[in-house]
Amino acid sequence: MQVARGVQQETDNNYSNDSIGNANALSLFVDGAHRTATVQGTLVAQENSNTDEDYFALGLLSAGNTVELSTRLPSNNTLQPYVTLRDASGAIIPDEDGNPWDGQVLVTLPEDGEYYARVETLSVYNDHVYLLTESTGNWSSVEAQAVEMGGHLVTIDDAAEQAWITEHFAPMGNLWIGASDAASEGTFL
Protein backbone atom coordinates (compact mmCIF):
# COMPACT_ATOMS: atom_id res chain seq x y z
CA MET A 1 0.00 0.00 0.00
CA GLN A 2 1.24 3.50 -0.85
CA VAL A 3 0.27 6.46 1.28
CA ALA A 4 0.70 10.17 0.63
CA ARG A 5 -0.92 13.20 2.22
CA GLY A 6 -3.10 15.10 -0.22
CA VAL A 7 -1.46 13.69 -3.34
CA GLN A 8 -2.96 11.09 -5.64
CA GLN A 9 -0.76 8.03 -6.19
CA GLU A 10 -0.12 6.51 -9.60
CA THR A 11 -1.14 2.86 -9.94
CA ASP A 12 1.27 0.98 -12.18
CA ASN A 13 1.48 -2.68 -11.16
CA ASN A 14 3.43 -4.48 -13.93
CA TYR A 15 3.28 -1.46 -16.24
CA SER A 16 -0.53 -1.45 -16.01
CA ASN A 17 -0.97 2.19 -17.05
CA ASP A 18 1.19 1.99 -20.18
CA SER A 19 -1.76 2.57 -22.52
CA ILE A 20 -4.69 4.91 -22.96
CA GLY A 21 -7.06 2.04 -22.19
CA ASN A 22 -5.46 1.61 -18.76
CA ALA A 23 -4.73 5.26 -17.97
CA ASN A 24 -4.97 6.38 -14.36
CA ALA A 25 -7.95 8.71 -13.99
CA LEU A 26 -6.87 11.92 -12.31
CA SER A 27 -8.87 13.38 -9.42
CA LEU A 28 -9.32 16.94 -10.67
CA PHE A 29 -10.07 19.70 -8.15
CA VAL A 30 -12.12 22.69 -9.26
CA ASP A 31 -10.68 26.09 -8.33
CA GLY A 32 -12.75 28.81 -10.03
CA ALA A 33 -12.35 28.32 -13.78
CA HIS A 34 -9.38 25.97 -13.30
CA ARG A 35 -9.21 22.23 -12.76
CA THR A 36 -5.99 20.95 -11.24
CA ALA A 37 -4.53 17.63 -10.15
CA THR A 38 -1.32 16.45 -8.59
CA VAL A 39 -0.19 12.86 -8.90
CA GLN A 40 2.90 11.19 -7.54
CA GLY A 41 4.40 8.36 -9.55
CA THR A 42 7.42 6.39 -10.56
CA LEU A 43 9.03 5.70 -13.90
CA VAL A 44 10.97 2.48 -13.78
CA ALA A 45 13.98 1.57 -15.86
CA GLN A 46 13.65 -0.35 -19.09
CA GLU A 47 13.33 -4.11 -18.63
CA ASN A 48 14.37 -6.01 -21.75
CA SER A 49 12.08 -4.66 -24.50
CA ASN A 50 9.62 -2.93 -22.14
CA THR A 51 9.85 0.77 -21.37
CA ASP A 52 7.66 2.54 -18.82
CA GLU A 53 5.21 5.07 -20.22
CA ASP A 54 2.57 6.31 -17.78
CA TYR A 55 -0.82 7.54 -18.99
CA PHE A 56 -3.16 9.79 -17.02
CA ALA A 57 -6.76 10.49 -18.13
CA LEU A 58 -7.62 14.19 -18.03
CA GLY A 59 -11.22 13.59 -19.09
CA LEU A 60 -13.46 15.33 -21.60
CA LEU A 61 -12.09 18.79 -22.38
CA SER A 62 -13.35 21.55 -24.65
CA ALA A 63 -11.73 23.22 -27.66
CA GLY A 64 -9.99 26.46 -26.75
CA ASN A 65 -9.16 25.37 -23.20
CA THR A 66 -5.53 25.61 -22.16
CA VAL A 67 -3.82 22.54 -20.70
CA GLU A 68 -0.57 22.92 -18.81
CA LEU A 69 1.32 19.82 -17.66
CA SER A 70 4.55 19.87 -15.67
CA THR A 71 6.83 17.62 -13.66
CA ARG A 72 8.55 18.18 -10.32
CA LEU A 73 11.55 16.06 -9.49
CA PRO A 74 13.69 15.50 -6.40
CA SER A 75 16.83 17.65 -6.31
CA ASN A 76 19.13 14.63 -6.65
CA ASN A 77 17.19 13.25 -9.60
CA THR A 78 18.80 12.10 -12.86
CA LEU A 79 15.53 11.37 -14.70
CA GLN A 80 14.92 13.27 -17.94
CA PRO A 81 11.09 13.39 -18.14
CA TYR A 82 9.27 13.61 -21.47
CA VAL A 83 5.65 14.72 -21.17
CA THR A 84 3.12 14.77 -24.00
CA LEU A 85 -0.57 15.52 -24.31
CA ARG A 86 -2.45 12.92 -26.34
CA ASP A 87 -5.92 12.75 -27.85
CA ALA A 88 -8.14 9.67 -27.59
CA SER A 89 -6.45 8.09 -30.63
CA GLY A 90 -3.01 8.50 -29.01
CA ALA A 91 -1.87 11.28 -31.37
CA ILE A 92 0.44 13.87 -29.82
CA ILE A 93 -1.01 17.37 -29.54
CA PRO A 94 1.95 19.67 -30.37
CA ASP A 95 3.52 21.41 -27.37
CA GLU A 96 3.33 25.21 -27.73
CA ASP A 97 5.88 26.16 -25.04
CA GLY A 98 8.80 26.06 -27.48
CA ASN A 99 10.67 23.09 -25.96
CA PRO A 100 9.17 19.59 -26.32
CA TRP A 101 11.97 18.09 -24.16
CA ASP A 102 11.60 20.21 -20.99
CA GLY A 103 9.20 17.95 -19.05
CA GLN A 104 6.37 20.44 -19.51
CA VAL A 105 3.53 20.93 -21.97
CA LEU A 106 1.42 23.99 -22.79
CA VAL A 107 -1.40 23.48 -25.29
CA THR A 108 -4.57 25.24 -26.39
CA LEU A 109 -6.90 22.38 -27.28
CA PRO A 110 -7.82 22.17 -30.98
CA GLU A 111 -11.14 20.33 -30.46
CA ASP A 112 -13.47 18.83 -27.89
CA GLY A 113 -12.49 15.35 -26.77
CA GLU A 114 -10.92 13.02 -24.26
CA TYR A 115 -7.30 13.89 -23.49
CA TYR A 116 -4.45 12.08 -21.77
CA ALA A 117 -1.08 13.03 -20.32
CA ARG A 118 1.79 10.65 -21.04
CA VAL A 119 4.98 10.72 -18.98
CA GLU A 120 8.10 8.75 -19.83
CA THR A 121 11.82 9.08 -19.40
CA LEU A 122 14.29 10.13 -22.05
CA SER A 123 17.60 8.40 -22.64
CA VAL A 124 20.50 10.85 -22.84
CA TYR A 125 23.99 10.14 -24.13
CA ASN A 126 26.69 12.73 -24.82
CA ASP A 127 24.14 15.59 -24.64
CA HIS A 128 21.89 13.92 -27.24
CA VAL A 129 18.35 12.81 -26.44
CA TYR A 130 17.13 9.40 -27.61
CA LEU A 131 13.47 8.40 -27.69
CA LEU A 132 11.77 5.52 -29.45
CA THR A 133 9.02 6.59 -31.83
CA GLU A 134 5.73 4.73 -31.88
CA SER A 135 5.62 4.62 -35.66
CA THR A 136 6.16 1.44 -37.60
CA GLY A 137 6.51 1.04 -41.31
CA ASN A 138 9.02 2.46 -43.72
CA TRP A 139 11.93 4.79 -43.09
CA SER A 140 10.05 7.87 -44.34
CA SER A 141 7.07 7.42 -42.01
CA VAL A 142 9.28 6.81 -38.97
CA GLU A 143 11.48 9.83 -39.81
CA ALA A 144 8.31 11.94 -40.25
CA GLN A 145 7.19 11.04 -36.72
CA ALA A 146 10.63 11.84 -35.34
CA VAL A 147 10.49 15.27 -37.03
CA GLU A 148 6.96 15.83 -35.65
CA MET A 149 8.39 15.15 -32.19
CA GLY A 150 11.15 17.73 -32.69
CA GLY A 151 14.03 15.48 -33.74
CA HIS A 152 15.32 13.08 -36.39
CA LEU A 153 16.26 9.44 -36.55
CA VAL A 154 19.64 8.86 -34.94
CA THR A 155 22.89 9.28 -36.84
CA ILE A 156 25.58 7.19 -35.17
CA ASP A 157 28.87 9.07 -35.11
CA ASP A 158 31.32 6.70 -33.42
CA ALA A 159 31.87 3.26 -31.91
CA ALA A 160 31.15 4.46 -28.35
CA GLU A 161 27.74 5.79 -29.39
CA GLN A 162 27.05 2.55 -31.29
CA ALA A 163 27.90 0.54 -28.14
CA TRP A 164 25.62 2.73 -25.98
CA ILE A 165 22.73 2.45 -28.46
CA THR A 166 23.19 -1.31 -28.67
CA GLU A 167 23.18 -1.64 -24.87
CA HIS A 168 20.02 0.45 -24.46
CA PHE A 169 17.97 -0.36 -27.53
CA ALA A 170 19.01 -3.80 -28.86
CA PRO A 171 16.27 -5.53 -26.78
CA MET A 172 13.72 -3.53 -28.79
CA GLY A 173 14.54 -5.43 -31.98
CA ASN A 174 15.26 -3.88 -35.35
CA LEU A 175 15.08 -0.09 -35.39
CA TRP A 176 15.39 2.56 -38.06
CA ILE A 177 18.36 4.94 -37.92
CA GLY A 178 19.02 8.18 -39.78
CA ALA A 179 20.93 6.70 -42.73
CA SER A 180 18.85 6.48 -45.90
CA ASP A 181 19.44 5.55 -49.52
CA ALA A 182 16.30 7.38 -50.71
CA ALA A 183 18.30 9.81 -52.91
CA SER A 184 20.54 7.16 -54.49
CA GLU A 185 19.86 3.43 -54.15
CA GLY A 186 22.71 1.74 -52.28
CA THR A 187 24.35 5.02 -51.18
CA PHE A 188 23.44 5.69 -47.56
CA LEU A 189 23.55 9.23 -46.25
Q: Given this model, what pLDDT does residue 4 score?
A: 55
**How do residues 51-101 score in pLDDT, each as one tens digit?**
778 899 999 999 999 999 998 888 887 778 889 999 999 998 999 998 888
| Per-residue pLDDT, 37 | 84
Parts of the chain belonging to CATH 2.60.120: 1-121
Residue 106: pLDDT band (50, 70, 90) is: very high
Mean pLDDT, range 155-174, rounded to an integer:
85
**Mapped to the 3 state alphabet, what secondary structure does the chain carry?**
CCCCCCCEECCCCCCCCCCHHHCEECCCEEECCEEECCEECCCCCCECCECCEEEEEEEEECCCCEEEEECCCCCCCCCCEEEEEEECCCCEECCCCCCCCCCEEEEECCCCEEEEEEEEECEEECCEEECCCCCCCCHHHHHHHHHHCCCCCCCCCCHHHHHHHHHHHHHHCCCCCCCCCCCCCCCCC
Place 116 in a pLDDT band, splitting at 50, 70 and 90.
very high
Class of domain 1-121: mainly beta
Q: What is the pLDDT of residue 5?
A: 63
Mean pLDDT across the chain: 83
Instruction: Report whether pLDDT(1) > 50.
Output: no
- pLDDT at position 139: 85
